[in-house]
Amino acid sequence: MTPFDYEQARFNMIEQQVRPWYVLDARVLDLLSAVKREDFVAPAYRTLAFADLELPLPNGTRMWTPKMEARVLQALIVQSSERVLEIGTGSGYLTALLASNAGDVTSVDIDAAMAADARTRLARHGFSNIRIDVGDGARGFGRDTYDVIVLGGSTPLLPARFFEQLAPGGRIFAVVGEAPAMRARLIHSEAPGAAIATDLFETVIAPLANAAAPSRFDF
């Protein structure tokens, strides 16, 4: 039986999924080659790690598709001096991609078991600039400020606390809205109290646990 060719599958993922989705930044493409996605999926899904699929995680959540991960990295342009807050660690793969460019990453997950697994996996891969906390980050997390904030799940409303935690010149990526009308949104902080939002693409992903939602009235 011919062994599965992971490098060929990785190449095909980049050339057939990622590039056609307008991801042409060489730094992002190099990262996708360097950080082994198959090491961040459940063993049963290793050969599907490069498919255009939202692969399931043990707690019922799902990974983003490879092309979405790449598109978000390209939009954020994380720099080596920057601090990143990630809401929703998941498998730790996007955490690894972010940390490969950032100064440091704080990632928070509401699921303690998922956080522990990701912590072990990232340490095994040699990352020393990542801190993984357990908690509910759907409305912000902690008291620190960050240059980049990434929400791994959707939110019907983007809480003001995220803007308060954003450093001047910082960026937020969030998928905002409710199915079937969600927008992947990049928000730039231009000055205290001033931000510019750009909708990058339409998508539908699962919401964060305890995501902020608009008030509803029953009549």
Token pair recorded at residue 136? 């509910």
How far is 177 from 155, CA to CA, in rounded Å?
A: 6
pLDDT (tens digit per residue) in 52-83:
999 999 999 999 999 999 999 999 999 999 99
Domain count, the chain: 1
Residue 216 has a pLDDT of 64
C-beta neighbour count of 64 within 10 angstroms: 20
Residue 215 confidence (pLDDT) = 75
At 84-135, the pLDDT tens digits run 999 999 999 999 999 999 999 999 999 999 999 999 999 999 999 999 999 9
pLDDT tens for each residue of 20-53: 999 999 999 999 999 999 999 999 999 999 999 9
pLDDT at position 219 over 90: no
Average pLDDT over residues 162-174: 96
The answer to whether residue 191 is domain-embedded is: yes
Does residue 176 sit within a domain? Answer: yes
CATH at residue 180? 3.40.50.150
Specify if 140 maps to a domain. Answer: yes
- pLDDT bin (cut points 50, 70, 90) of residue 217 is low
Q: Is residue 46 part of a domain?
A: yes
> Do the domain assignments include residue 219?
no
Tell me what the mean pLDDT of segment 140-165 comes to.
Answer: 97
Domain that holds residue 102: 6-202
User: Does a structural domain hold residue 211?
Assistant: no
The answer to the question of residue 209 being in a domain is: no
Question: For residue 95, which amino acid is it?
Answer: T
Residue 25 counted as domain residue: yes
Pairwise pLDDT comparison (179 vs 1), residue with the higher score: 179
For 175-216, how does the pLDDT look when each residue is reduced to its tens digit (9 = 90+)?
A: 999 999 999 999 999 877 789 999 999 999 999 999 998 876
